[in-house]
Structure 1
Amino acid sequence: MSGSPGPAPEADTANRPPPARLRRERPGLPGTLRDRARGALLGLAVGDALGAPAENMKPSRIRERWGRIEGFVLDEPAGTDDTEYAIFSGLLLAEHGSALTVAHVEAAWHLWIADRDEGPFRGAGFSERGTLENLRRGLAAPISAQHRHAWSDGLAMRAAPFGVYATGRPAEAARLVAVDGTVSHDGEGIYGGQAVAAGVAAAMVSDSPDAVVQAALSVIPEDSWTARSLHRAVSAARRAVPGPDGSPLPVERAVRSAVVIGGYPWTDLAPEAVGLAFGAFIAARGDFRGSVLTAVNMGRDADTTAAVAGSLAGALGGESGIPAHWAAAIGPVRGSCLPAMAGRHILDVADALLPLNAVPGRATDPSNENRQAAS
C-alpha cells in the first residue's frame, strides 16, 4: 500500500460545505420522511444480503460463478454483521439521541456484546474483534480502538442510522457517528463512518445524488485518504460510459480501478469501501437497484459496499423505491454476529429514530421523549 493518499481531488468534485441544516422535504420529492427513513435502513439490509455471497471476491470470480449478479443468489438470503451492528447502534441512538456519549457506547458494547456469550461469527469483523478483545482486557475508549483494523469500514457499515436521526443535518450526523466510532475506530475508520452518515442525512431531504456526495465530503478532511478515494470513485463514475450493448461492466471497472489497491489483501479498508459505495451510487444516479448491483458486482467487501450504497439510494428514493421482492426477503436478524440482536427488524429501528409525528399511530415512546429532550 502506498504511503501517499494520491493526487489532489479534481475540480469537478470540489468540496463545497453545505449549510449546517439542509432544507427539509420539498413538494415533488419522493416519499415521506418515514418512507425515506425506512428506505435508508431497509436499503442497508437489502444491500448487505445481496452482497454477502460476493464478499472478498474478484469481479472475474463473481462472473465465473453467477454471471452478473442481478438479485439474490442464495435460497435464504440473510444479512451479516452490517445489519446487526446497524440495529445495535440505531437502538442505542434512539435511546440517547443527541446526548449520546462515548461512555454510553462503551457501556452498551460491554452490556450487549463483550460481556455476553458470542454467536458463531464471534462478534464479526476484524475491527470488532480487536475492539472486543481490548474491552475485555479492561481498556477504555479511545484506547479500545487501538488495534490493527481501526481504519476498517466497520463504522461505515453501521453509520446509516445516524443520518436518519440527523435528517438534513450532515454535520450532526457526522458528530454522532464519531461518538459511536470512538470505541472501535480511529482516523480513516472514523472518516468513513462520517462520510456515510452525512451522505444519508443529506439524502433524506434531497433529490440530488450530487448533493449527497457534497455533504459526505463536507464533514471529512479534504486531504484524508477517504476524501481522495471518494473523489476518485465519483469522478470515475461520472466519466465512464456503459459498453455498446449497455453493459455496466466498463463503468464498474472504471470505479473499481480508481480506488482499489491491486494485491492488497484487506478488503475492509474504509477509504476503499466508502469510495466504491459512493461510486456505485453515482454511477446509478441514485437508482436503488442500479446502486446496489453495481456495488455487489465490483466485489471486494461487497456486503458493506452494497449496504452503504443501498442506504444512500434508499434514503434518496424511499422504501417505495426498493424492489418489493427484495424488501420481502428481509426479516428479523438471526443474531449470527450479535446474539443480543436476534429477532429484531431493521425497520423497527428506522421507526424508532423518527419523531413521534412521523410514524402514524405510534404511542408515546420514552426513547423518543429522551431524544426530543436532548435535541
Structure 2
Amino acid sequence: MGGTAGAVWGRAEQQDFRSRVRGTLLGVAVGDALGSPVDPLALDAIREAHGPEGLADLAAAHGRRGAVTHLTQLTLFSVDGLIRAQVRRDTGAWHPPTDLHRAYRRWVATQRDWGPDLRRKDDGWLAHEEWLYVRRGAPRALLLGLGDETMGTPEAPKNPGERGPEAAARSAPFGLLVGWEPQLVAQLAVECAAQTHGHPTGYLAAGAYAVIVHGLARGESLDAAVQRALALLVARPGHEPVTDALQHALGAVRQGLPSPARVTGLIGAGTAEGLVAAAVYCALVGEDVRHGLRLAVNHDGASAAAGALTGGLLGALHGETALPPAWLAELEGRPTVLELADDFAMEMTQGPALHGPAGSSPGWLTRYPRA
C-alpha cells in the first residue's frame, strides 16, 4: 500500500512541505484548544459566557489556556505511526494499518498509566512525553476500539454503529503523505478509522477528510480538493451521507454571509460527515485563519472536533505562518507538535538517508524503533 515521495526534493519544495506539515498539525491542535472550553455548550450559553460575538480567543479548559484534547493526542500518534511504518518498511514488513494500530495502542497507555515507562525503549520518544499522560474527554468508542490487540478492519470493524467525528479528526496526517496517490490515502484513512469507528459514515468521512488535506498539502485549492474527495467517494458503498454533507457545505458557501446557524445546520446530529462538512465550510468562507476557526467553534455542535478539523484544513492550505502567533504561544504541547512535524517532514523527504540500505542513523532508530 502506497509509498514515499519518490522525487528528488529541492530546497524550496522541502520548505513548503515542512510549513504545510507544521501548519496542519498546529492547526489541528490550536482549533482543538480553541473549541475545547465551549465544547459542551450551546450557542446561547457560549454567548452568555463570552459575549454576543461568542468565543473570540483561547479560554481556560482542563486547568489552563490552550489545553488540547484527545483529538490532538491521537493526531500526534497518527504521525508517530506513519513514521514507524516507513521505518519498518526496510524490514519487509509493510502494513501501515498495523503500525497505526500499535501507535494508537500506545496512546491508550497514556489514558491508563500514571506516566511513561522509560524502560520500554520500543515505545519511541512520543510515548515518553509526560504531558500526554492525561485524560482529555476520550469517548468510550475510542477506549473500547483500542482496548485490546484485535485490530478492526472495514470488513470486521470495531464499534460497527459508531459514527462520531473522532476518527476523522485524527486523520489529517494521512493527507500529508503527498507522495501517495489520493485513493491510497483514502484507503489507509478508512482502514485506520475502522479500528474505532465502524459505521461506513464514520470511516468514509475520515477517508474524505484525509483526501482533502492531501490535495491542500499538494498545493490544490480547497474546492478542487473537495471535488477530488467526492469523485473518490462515489465508488464506496454507503458513501451517500458523506457525499451529501460535502455537497451541502459547498452549496452553503453561496447562500450569503456565514453564520453560526449555517454551521449548526451542517453539523446536524454531530456525526462525522456533518463535522467534516462544517469544517470545509468554515475553511472556505473564513476571511483568514482566525475568522475561520472562530466560526468553527461558535455554534450548537461539537466545538473541539469542528475546530480541530477546520484547523487541519487551514493549516494545510496556508502553512504554519498563517496561524495566529498569540494562540500558538499558549498552545499546550507546542514543542512536541513542532518536533514531531519536523521529524515527519524529514522522514518523508530524506527517509532513505536515515534508515535505508546504504546506512542508518542510530539516533533515528532510537526515536522510531523498528520493533
- TM-score bin, normalised by smaller chain: 0.7 to 0.9
Aligned-residue offset at 1:325: 1.0
Separation in 2, partners of 1:141, 1:180 = 8
- Counterpart in the other structure of 2:194: 182
Residue among 53, 74, 83 paired with 1:85: 74
**What code does the residue aligned with 2:38 have?**
A
Structure 2 CA distance for partners of 1:367 and 1:112, relative to 1, 3 Å:
farther
Contact 1:53 1:73 (8 Å CA) reproduced: yes
Aligned-residue offset at 1:71: 1.3
Residue among 184, 202, 207 paired with 1:172: 184
- Counterpart in the other structure of 2:120: none
Residue among 250, 254, 264 paired with 1:238: 254
Structure 2 CA distance for partners of 1:195 and 1:100, relative to 1, 3 Å:
same
- Counterpart in the other structure of 1:129: 143
Separation in 1, partners of 2:135, 2:160 = 19
Contact 1:331 1:345 (8 Å CA) reproduced: no
1:348 aligns with 2:339: yes
TM superposition score normalised by structure 1: 0.73
Separation in 2, partners of 1:49, 1:94 = 25
Aligned-residue offset at 1:346: 1.8
Contact 1:42 1:346 (8 Å CA) reproduced: yes
Separation in 1, partners of 2:362, 2:182 = 25
1:69 aligns with 2:55: yes
Identity of aligned residues (%): 26
Aligned residue pairs total: 316
- Counterpart in the other structure of 1:6: none
Separation in 2, partners of 1:239, 1:181 = 32
- Counterpart in the other structure of 1:257: 265
Contact 2:168 2:272 (8 Å CA) reproduced: yes
Aligned-residue offset at 1:70: 1.4
- Counterpart in the other structure of 2:279: 277
Aligned-residue offset at 1:153: 1.0
- Counterpart in the other structure of 2:118: none
Structure 2 CA distance for partners of 1:72 and 1:356, relative to 1, 3 Å:
same
Aligned-residue offset at 1:238: 2.8
Contact 2:168 2:202 (8 Å CA) reproduced: yes
- Counterpart in the other structure of 1:198: 211
Separation in 2, partners of 1:79, 1:238 = 33
- 1:147-196 Cα offsets, whole Å, 9 max, x none, are 26522211111101111123674323212212322321221111111111
Aligned-residue offset at 1:348: 2.3
Aligned-residue offset at 1:215: 2.8
SS in 1 for 2:253: helix
- Counterpart in the other structure of 2:230: 217
Q: Which moved more, 1:175-184 or 1:195-204?
A: 175-184
Aligned-residue offset at 1:145: 3.8
Aligned-residue offset at 1:279: 1.4
Structure 2 CA distance for partners of 1:164 and 1:103, relative to 1, 3 Å:
closer
1:317 aligns with 2:318: yes
Structure 2 CA distance for partners of 1:291 and 1:174, relative to 1, 3 Å:
same
- 1:42-97 Cα offsets, whole Å, 9 max, x none, are 00000000010111322222111112211102252211001100011110011113
Separation in 2, partners of 1:58, 1:365 = 51
**What code does the residue aligned with 1:260 have?**
G
- Counterpart in the other structure of 1:151: 163
Residue among 95, 109, 112 paired with 1:117: 112
Aligned-residue offset at 1:228: 0.9
Contact 1:144 1:183 (8 Å CA) reproduced: no
- Counterpart in the other structure of 1:340: none
**What code does the residue aligned with 1:254 have?**
R
Contact 2:74 2:104 (8 Å CA) reproduced: no
**What code does the residue aligned with 2:249 have?**
A
**What code does the residue aligned with 2:17 have?**
L
SS in 2 for 1:185: coil
Contact 2:174 2:189 (8 Å CA) reproduced: yes
Separation in 2, partners of 1:210, 1:109 = 31
Q: Which moved more, 1:160-169 or 1:201-210?
A: 160-169
Separation in 1, partners of 2:316, 2:348 = 19
**What code does the residue aligned with 1:297 have?**
N
Separation in 1, partners of 2:99, 2:363 = 14
Q: Which structure 2 segments of 5+ residues have no match?
A: 114-132, 355-359, 366-371
**What code does the residue aligned with 2:309 have?**
V
- 1:271-325 Cα offsets, whole Å, 9 max, x none, are 121121111111216x322221111112411111111111111111100001111
**What code does the residue aligned with 1:275 have?**
A
Root-mean-square deviation over aligned CA pairs = 3.4
Structure 2 CA distance for partners of 1:150 and 1:64, relative to 1, 3 Å:
same
Aligned-residue offset at 1:105: 3.4
Separation in 2, partners of 1:162, 1:77 = 25
